[in-house]
Amino acid sequence: MASGSEMDDLEITATNNLFSAVVTLMSPPLPTLPEDVIPQILCRLPVKLLIQLRCVCKSWNALISDSEFLKKHRRMSFWWCSCSKSEIRKICDGHN
């Protein structure tokens, strides 16, 4: 039979679990990006970061491992490397 202290611990755990469940249900969902935007963002990131981002979820791992994505990433990397600093500043500032 459980002692008074053990019963109190069980009640606290049950209360905490219930509170967590209620908070989860009441929390607004996180905004999501459209599926076609994610590859556009990821293909502009450095390789070292992409390797780390493969651990985010299965779909990101599959995307980052995809040969077509890798080709696009290579093209984008080459393009960024061939731009001058002033061209990159214009692009980042939104000027043409």
Calculate what percentage of the chain has a pLDDT beyond 90.
14
The amino acid at 7:
M
Query: Structural domain boundaries of the chain?
Result: 4-27+38-93
pLDDT (tens digit per residue) in 54-87: 998 999 999 999 999 988 888 887 655 556 667 6
For residues 88 and 96, what is the distance between their CA atoms, to the nearest angstrom? 11
Residue 88, token pair as written in the block? 């990159």
pLDDT of 96 over the 50 cut: no
pLDDT (tens digit per residue) in 33-45: 788 888 888 888 8
Q: What is the pLDDT of residue 40?
A: 87
pTM exceeding the 0.85 threshold for the entire prediction: no
Residues in Cβ contact with 83 at an 8 Å cutoff, skipping those fewer than 6 apart? 91
